[in-house]
Structure 1
Protein backbone atom coordinates (compact mmCIF):
# COMPACT_ATOMS: atom_id res chain seq x y z
CA UNK A 1 0.00 0.00 0.00
CA UNK A 2 1.21 3.47 -0.83
CA UNK A 3 0.05 6.02 1.72
CA UNK A 4 0.71 8.84 -0.75
CA UNK A 5 -1.60 7.21 -3.31
CA UNK A 6 -4.31 6.71 -0.69
CA UNK A 7 -4.00 10.41 0.24
CA UNK A 8 -4.40 11.44 -3.41
CA UNK A 9 -7.56 9.31 -3.69
CA UNK A 10 -8.85 10.76 -0.40
CA UNK A 11 -8.37 14.33 -1.66
CA UNK A 12 -10.06 13.41 -4.94
CA UNK A 13 -13.23 12.42 -3.08
CA UNK A 14 -13.09 15.40 -0.72
CA UNK A 15 -12.83 17.85 -3.63
CA UNK A 16 -15.85 16.09 -5.19
CA UNK A 17 -17.92 16.88 -2.05
CA UNK A 18 -17.68 13.60 -0.18
CA UNK A 19 -17.09 13.12 3.52
CA UNK A 20 -14.15 10.72 3.75
CA UNK A 21 -13.06 8.49 6.59
CA UNK A 22 -10.01 6.38 6.04
CA UNK A 23 -9.06 3.23 7.82
CA UNK A 24 -5.62 2.02 6.78
CA UNK A 25 -5.91 1.53 3.00
CA UNK A 26 -9.72 1.65 2.79
CA UNK A 27 -11.77 4.81 2.35
CA UNK A 28 -15.39 5.17 3.41
CA UNK A 29 -17.02 7.97 1.41
CA UNK A 30 -20.42 9.57 1.86
CA UNK A 31 -21.81 12.33 -0.35
CA UNK A 32 -22.34 15.55 1.58
CA UNK A 33 -25.28 16.73 -0.56
CA UNK A 34 -28.77 15.29 -0.77
CA UNK A 35 -28.75 14.63 -4.51
CA UNK A 36 -29.93 11.19 -5.54
CA UNK A 37 -27.23 9.31 -7.44
CA UNK A 38 -27.80 8.58 -11.12
CA UNK A 39 -28.12 4.96 -12.09
CA UNK A 40 -25.54 3.94 -14.63
CA UNK A 41 -24.77 0.64 -16.21
CA UNK A 42 -21.15 1.68 -16.56
CA UNK A 43 -18.60 -0.29 -14.62
CA UNK A 44 -15.73 2.12 -15.30
CA UNK A 45 -16.32 5.62 -13.96
CA UNK A 46 -14.50 8.77 -14.99
CA UNK A 47 -13.49 11.35 -12.42
CA UNK A 48 -16.34 13.60 -13.51
CA UNK A 49 -18.98 10.89 -13.07
CA UNK A 50 -18.13 10.13 -9.45
CA UNK A 51 -20.20 12.86 -7.81
CA UNK A 52 -23.21 12.04 -10.01
CA UNK A 53 -23.11 8.24 -9.66
CA UNK A 54 -21.87 7.53 -6.14
CA UNK A 55 -23.62 8.38 -2.90
CA UNK A 56 -22.05 6.00 -0.39
CA UNK A 57 -19.05 3.83 -1.20
CA UNK A 58 -16.23 1.80 0.21
CA UNK A 59 -13.12 2.60 -1.81
CA UNK A 60 -10.06 0.38 -2.14
CA UNK A 61 -7.11 2.01 -3.91
CA UNK A 62 -5.01 -0.71 -5.54
CA UNK A 63 -1.68 1.13 -5.58
CA UNK A 64 0.26 -1.25 -7.80
CA UNK A 65 1.19 1.45 -10.30
CA UNK A 66 3.62 -0.71 -12.25
CA UNK A 67 1.10 -3.53 -12.75
CA UNK A 68 -1.79 -4.08 -15.09
CA UNK A 69 -4.77 -5.63 -13.32
CA UNK A 70 -4.98 -8.85 -15.33
CA UNK A 71 -7.04 -11.98 -14.57
CA UNK A 72 -3.84 -13.67 -13.33
CA UNK A 73 -3.09 -10.80 -10.94
CA UNK A 74 -6.66 -10.84 -9.62
CA UNK A 75 -6.68 -14.64 -9.21
CA UNK A 76 -3.44 -14.52 -7.20
CA UNK A 77 -4.66 -11.63 -5.05
CA UNK A 78 -8.17 -12.59 -3.99
CA UNK A 79 -7.57 -10.98 -0.58
CA UNK A 80 -8.02 -7.54 -2.20
CA UNK A 81 -11.75 -8.30 -2.35
CA UNK A 82 -11.99 -8.66 1.44
CA UNK A 83 -12.31 -4.92 2.08
CA UNK A 84 -16.11 -4.99 2.17
CA UNK A 85 -16.70 -8.34 3.81
CA UNK A 86 -15.14 -10.47 6.51
CA UNK A 87 -13.51 -8.52 9.33
CA UNK A 88 -14.34 -5.17 7.68
CA UNK A 89 -18.10 -5.81 7.31
CA UNK A 90 -18.98 -4.39 10.77
CA UNK A 91 -17.13 -1.14 9.95
CA UNK A 92 -19.06 -0.82 6.69
CA UNK A 93 -22.41 -1.28 8.44
CA UNK A 94 -21.46 1.11 11.24
CA UNK A 95 -20.28 3.89 8.92
CA UNK A 96 -23.22 3.68 6.50
CA UNK A 97 -25.79 2.95 9.25
CA UNK A 98 -27.67 0.42 7.14
CA UNK A 99 -27.67 2.51 3.94
CA UNK A 100 -26.67 0.86 0.68
CA UNK A 101 -23.14 1.46 -0.53
CA UNK A 102 -21.09 0.70 -3.62
CA UNK A 103 -17.77 -1.13 -3.67
CA UNK A 104 -15.16 0.64 -5.78
CA UNK A 105 -11.60 -0.15 -6.80
CA UNK A 106 -9.16 2.56 -7.84
CA UNK A 107 -6.78 0.75 -10.19
CA UNK A 108 -3.75 1.63 -12.34
CA UNK A 109 -4.85 -0.05 -15.58
CA UNK A 110 -6.56 -2.97 -17.28
CA UNK A 111 -5.16 -5.20 -20.03
CA UNK A 112 -5.22 -3.85 -23.56
CA UNK A 113 -6.37 -7.06 -25.23
CA UNK A 114 -10.15 -7.35 -25.32
CA UNK A 115 -10.25 -10.91 -23.97
CA UNK A 116 -8.12 -10.18 -20.88
CA UNK A 117 -9.87 -6.82 -20.40
CA UNK A 118 -13.29 -8.51 -20.25
CA UNK A 119 -12.02 -11.32 -18.02
CA UNK A 120 -10.55 -8.83 -15.53
CA UNK A 121 -13.82 -6.93 -15.36
CA UNK A 122 -15.72 -10.21 -15.02
CA UNK A 123 -13.60 -11.34 -12.06
CA UNK A 124 -14.09 -8.01 -10.31
CA UNK A 125 -17.86 -8.08 -10.86
CA UNK A 126 -18.07 -11.72 -9.68
CA UNK A 127 -16.31 -10.69 -6.48
CA UNK A 128 -18.76 -7.88 -5.72
CA UNK A 129 -17.05 -4.80 -7.17
CA UNK A 130 -19.61 -2.28 -8.47
CA UNK A 131 -17.28 0.21 -10.18
CA UNK A 132 -13.66 0.95 -10.94
CA UNK A 133 -11.93 4.26 -11.46
CA UNK A 134 -8.51 4.49 -13.05
CA UNK A 135 -5.88 6.19 -10.90
CA UNK A 136 -4.94 8.36 -13.87
CA UNK A 137 -8.54 9.60 -13.99
CA UNK A 138 -8.37 10.42 -10.27
CA UNK A 139 -5.19 12.45 -10.85
CA UNK A 140 -6.51 14.25 -13.94
CA UNK A 141 -9.81 15.15 -12.27
CA UNK A 142 -8.12 16.32 -9.06
CA UNK A 143 -5.63 18.49 -10.96
CA UNK A 144 -8.46 19.92 -13.05
CA UNK A 145 -10.44 20.91 -9.93
CA UNK A 146 -7.47 22.58 -8.21
CA UNK A 147 -7.58 26.37 -8.42
CA UNK A 148 -4.03 27.68 -8.75
CA UNK A 149 -5.00 30.95 -7.01
CA UNK A 150 -6.44 29.23 -3.93
CA UNK A 151 -4.38 28.06 -0.95
CA UNK A 152 -5.20 24.56 0.32
CA UNK A 153 -4.78 23.05 3.76
CA UNK A 154 -4.14 19.65 2.21
CA UNK A 155 -0.48 19.12 1.33
CA UNK A 156 -1.50 16.98 -1.67
CA UNK A 157 -3.72 19.71 -3.09
CA UNK A 158 -1.17 22.39 -2.28
CA UNK A 159 1.54 20.52 -4.20
CA UNK A 160 -0.78 20.21 -7.21
CA UNK A 161 -1.69 23.90 -6.90
CA UNK A 162 1.95 25.00 -6.92
CA UNK A 163 2.76 22.73 -9.88
CA UNK A 164 -0.26 24.07 -11.75
CA UNK A 165 0.61 27.69 -10.88
CA UNK A 166 4.11 27.29 -12.31
CA UNK A 167 2.63 25.76 -15.48
CA UNK A 168 4.16 22.34 -14.91
CA UNK A 169 0.90 20.87 -16.18
CA UNK A 170 0.25 22.06 -19.70
CA UNK A 171 -3.31 22.53 -20.93
CA UNK A 172 -2.83 19.59 -23.27
CA UNK A 173 -1.79 17.33 -20.36
CA UNK A 174 -4.83 18.39 -18.35
CA UNK A 175 -7.18 17.42 -21.19
CA UNK A 176 -5.83 13.91 -21.64
CA UNK A 177 -8.35 11.23 -20.64
CA UNK A 178 -5.48 8.95 -19.49
Structure 2
Protein backbone atom coordinates (compact mmCIF):
# COMPACT_ATOMS: atom_id res chain seq x y z
CA UNK A 1 0.00 0.00 0.00
CA UNK A 2 1.37 3.40 -0.95
CA UNK A 3 2.03 6.04 1.71
CA UNK A 4 -0.51 8.27 -0.07
CA UNK A 5 -3.20 5.60 0.42
CA UNK A 6 -2.33 5.27 4.11
CA UNK A 7 -2.46 8.99 4.94
CA UNK A 8 -5.23 10.30 2.69
CA UNK A 9 -8.73 8.90 2.84
CA UNK A 10 -11.54 10.43 0.82
CA UNK A 11 -9.28 13.41 0.05
CA UNK A 12 -8.80 14.20 3.74
CA UNK A 13 -5.68 13.66 5.75
CA UNK A 14 -6.18 11.06 8.46
CA UNK A 15 -6.13 12.26 12.05
CA UNK A 16 -4.73 9.22 13.85
CA UNK A 17 -1.03 8.64 14.48
CA UNK A 18 1.14 6.76 12.02
CA UNK A 19 4.52 5.56 13.19
CA UNK A 20 6.69 7.42 10.72
CA UNK A 21 9.60 9.80 10.93
CA UNK A 22 8.04 12.14 8.34
CA UNK A 23 4.32 11.90 9.19
CA UNK A 24 4.09 15.06 11.31
CA UNK A 25 5.77 17.08 8.56
CA UNK A 26 3.48 15.65 5.88
CA UNK A 27 0.43 16.48 7.98
CA UNK A 28 1.57 20.08 8.43
CA UNK A 29 2.13 20.58 4.69
CA UNK A 30 -1.07 18.95 3.41
CA UNK A 31 -3.01 22.21 3.30
CA UNK A 32 -0.07 23.94 1.54
CA UNK A 33 -0.19 21.27 -1.16
CA UNK A 34 -3.95 21.47 -1.64
CA UNK A 35 -3.85 25.29 -1.71
CA UNK A 36 -1.20 25.27 -4.45
CA UNK A 37 -2.58 22.63 -6.79
CA UNK A 38 -5.45 22.47 -9.23
CA UNK A 39 -7.12 19.75 -11.28
CA UNK A 40 -6.90 19.48 -15.04
CA UNK A 41 -10.15 17.98 -16.26
CA UNK A 42 -9.94 14.61 -17.94
CA UNK A 43 -12.91 12.29 -17.44
CA UNK A 44 -13.95 14.00 -14.18
CA UNK A 45 -14.04 10.80 -12.11
CA UNK A 46 -11.30 11.85 -9.66
CA UNK A 47 -12.42 15.45 -9.15
CA UNK A 48 -14.86 16.39 -6.40
CA UNK A 49 -17.19 18.93 -8.02
CA UNK A 50 -17.57 21.07 -4.90
CA UNK A 51 -14.35 20.64 -2.90
CA UNK A 52 -11.57 20.51 -5.50
CA UNK A 53 -10.05 23.38 -7.46
CA UNK A 54 -10.78 22.49 -11.08
CA UNK A 55 -12.42 25.56 -12.64
CA UNK A 56 -10.36 28.36 -11.18
CA UNK A 57 -11.79 28.21 -7.68
CA UNK A 58 -13.27 25.74 -5.24
CA UNK A 59 -17.04 25.77 -5.67
CA UNK A 60 -17.69 25.36 -1.94
CA UNK A 61 -15.55 28.46 -1.28
CA UNK A 62 -17.18 30.37 -4.12
CA UNK A 63 -20.66 29.73 -2.71
CA UNK A 64 -19.63 30.05 0.97
CA UNK A 65 -20.61 26.50 1.91
CA UNK A 66 -19.95 26.05 5.66
CA UNK A 67 -17.00 23.76 6.45
CA UNK A 68 -19.07 21.29 8.45
CA UNK A 69 -21.27 20.61 5.38
CA UNK A 70 -18.48 20.18 2.82
CA UNK A 71 -17.81 16.56 3.71
CA UNK A 72 -21.33 15.71 2.50
CA UNK A 73 -20.70 17.16 -0.97
CA UNK A 74 -19.36 14.10 -2.72
CA UNK A 75 -20.44 14.44 -6.34
CA UNK A 76 -17.71 14.26 -8.96
CA UNK A 77 -17.35 16.44 -12.03
CA UNK A 78 -18.18 13.30 -14.06
CA UNK A 79 -21.66 13.33 -12.51
CA UNK A 80 -22.42 16.51 -14.50
CA UNK A 81 -21.09 15.37 -17.88
CA UNK A 82 -23.23 13.42 -20.34
CA UNK A 83 -22.19 12.63 -23.94
CA UNK A 84 -19.30 15.09 -23.76
CA UNK A 85 -21.56 17.99 -22.69
CA UNK A 86 -22.31 19.68 -19.39
CA UNK A 87 -25.56 18.32 -18.01
CA UNK A 88 -27.03 20.01 -14.93
CA UNK A 89 -30.33 19.28 -13.22
CA UNK A 90 -33.00 21.95 -13.79
CA UNK A 91 -32.79 22.96 -10.09
CA UNK A 92 -29.16 23.98 -10.58
CA UNK A 93 -30.02 26.09 -13.59
CA UNK A 94 -32.84 27.68 -11.63
CA UNK A 95 -31.08 28.38 -8.30
CA UNK A 96 -27.39 28.36 -9.17
CA UNK A 97 -27.26 29.96 -12.60
CA UNK A 98 -24.01 31.65 -11.54
CA UNK A 99 -22.46 28.21 -10.99
CA UNK A 100 -23.56 26.90 -14.37
CA UNK A 101 -22.02 29.92 -16.11
CA UNK A 102 -18.74 29.41 -14.22
CA UNK A 103 -18.55 25.70 -15.07
CA UNK A 104 -19.41 26.11 -18.74
CA UNK A 105 -16.17 28.05 -19.21
CA UNK A 106 -14.29 24.78 -18.65
CA UNK A 107 -13.81 22.76 -21.83
CA UNK A 108 -14.57 19.07 -21.65
CA UNK A 109 -11.82 17.07 -23.42
CA UNK A 110 -12.89 15.31 -26.62
CA UNK A 111 -11.09 12.11 -25.65
CA UNK A 112 -11.47 10.64 -22.20
CA UNK A 113 -8.29 10.78 -20.14
CA UNK A 114 -7.42 10.65 -16.49
CA UNK A 115 -7.79 13.78 -14.38
CA UNK A 116 -4.45 15.30 -13.38
CA UNK A 117 -3.53 17.14 -10.23
CA UNK A 118 -1.10 19.93 -11.19
CA UNK A 119 1.25 22.10 -9.14
CA UNK A 120 0.52 25.82 -9.78
CA UNK A 121 4.13 26.94 -9.49
CA UNK A 122 5.64 24.69 -12.15
CA UNK A 123 5.90 24.95 -15.92
CA UNK A 124 5.12 21.24 -16.31
CA UNK A 125 2.56 20.97 -13.53
CA UNK A 126 4.63 18.34 -11.76
CA UNK A 127 5.90 18.93 -8.25
CA UNK A 128 9.63 18.26 -8.31
CA UNK A 129 11.76 18.22 -5.18
CA UNK A 130 13.76 21.25 -6.35
CA UNK A 131 10.57 23.26 -6.96
CA UNK A 132 9.17 22.25 -3.56
CA UNK A 133 12.41 23.38 -1.92
CA UNK A 134 12.37 26.73 -3.75
CA UNK A 135 8.70 27.23 -2.86
CA UNK A 136 9.33 26.62 0.85
CA UNK A 137 12.49 28.74 0.81
CA UNK A 138 10.48 31.75 -0.40
CA UNK A 139 8.33 31.58 2.73
CA UNK A 140 11.21 32.37 5.06
CA UNK A 141 12.19 35.93 5.74
CA UNK A 142 15.63 37.06 4.75
CA UNK A 143 16.99 38.15 8.11
CA UNK A 144 20.20 40.02 7.47
CA UNK A 145 20.69 40.71 11.17
CA UNK A 146 20.77 36.95 11.83
CA UNK A 147 24.03 36.65 9.91
CA UNK A 148 25.52 39.36 12.10
CA UNK A 149 24.66 37.78 15.46
CA UNK A 150 24.97 34.09 14.52
CA UNK A 151 28.56 34.27 13.45
CA UNK A 152 31.48 31.90 14.05
CA UNK A 153 33.45 34.82 15.55
CA UNK A 154 30.82 35.39 18.27
CA UNK A 155 30.40 32.85 21.09
CA UNK A 156 26.95 31.17 20.86
CA UNK A 157 26.06 32.27 24.40
CA UNK A 158 26.45 35.93 23.36
CA UNK A 159 24.48 35.36 20.14
CA UNK A 160 21.70 33.79 22.16
CA UNK A 161 21.65 36.75 24.54
CA UNK A 162 21.30 39.21 21.63
CA UNK A 163 18.60 37.06 20.02
CA UNK A 164 16.67 36.94 23.31
CA UNK A 165 16.96 40.72 23.65
CA UNK A 166 15.63 41.25 20.13
CA UNK A 167 12.65 38.95 20.77
CA UNK A 168 11.90 40.18 24.30
CA UNK A 169 12.72 36.76 25.74
CA UNK A 170 15.08 37.85 28.50
CA UNK A 171 13.89 36.35 31.82
CA UNK A 172 12.98 39.61 33.52
CA UNK A 173 10.51 39.67 36.41
CA UNK A 174 7.79 40.88 34.06
CA UNK A 175 8.43 38.15 31.46
CA UNK A 176 8.60 35.47 34.16
CA UNK A 177 5.21 36.58 35.52
CA UNK A 178 3.77 36.32 32.01
CA UNK A 179 5.23 32.83 31.67
CA UNK A 180 3.77 31.79 35.03
CA UNK A 181 0.29 33.01 34.11
CA UNK A 182 0.51 31.21 30.75
CA UNK A 183 1.60 28.00 32.45
CA UNK A 184 -1.24 28.30 34.98
CA UNK A 185 -3.74 28.78 32.16
CA UNK A 186 -2.52 25.60 30.40
CA UNK A 187 -2.51 23.60 33.62
CA UNK A 188 -5.80 24.75 35.10
CA UNK A 189 -7.72 25.96 32.08
Give TM class, smaller chain: under 0.3
Which structure features the higher share of strand residues? 1
TM-score, with length taken from structure 1: 0.22
TM-score, with length taken from structure 2: 0.21
Determine which structure has more spread, i.e. the larger CA radius of gyration.
2
Structure of higher RCO (CA pairs closer than 8 Å, 6+ residues apart): 1
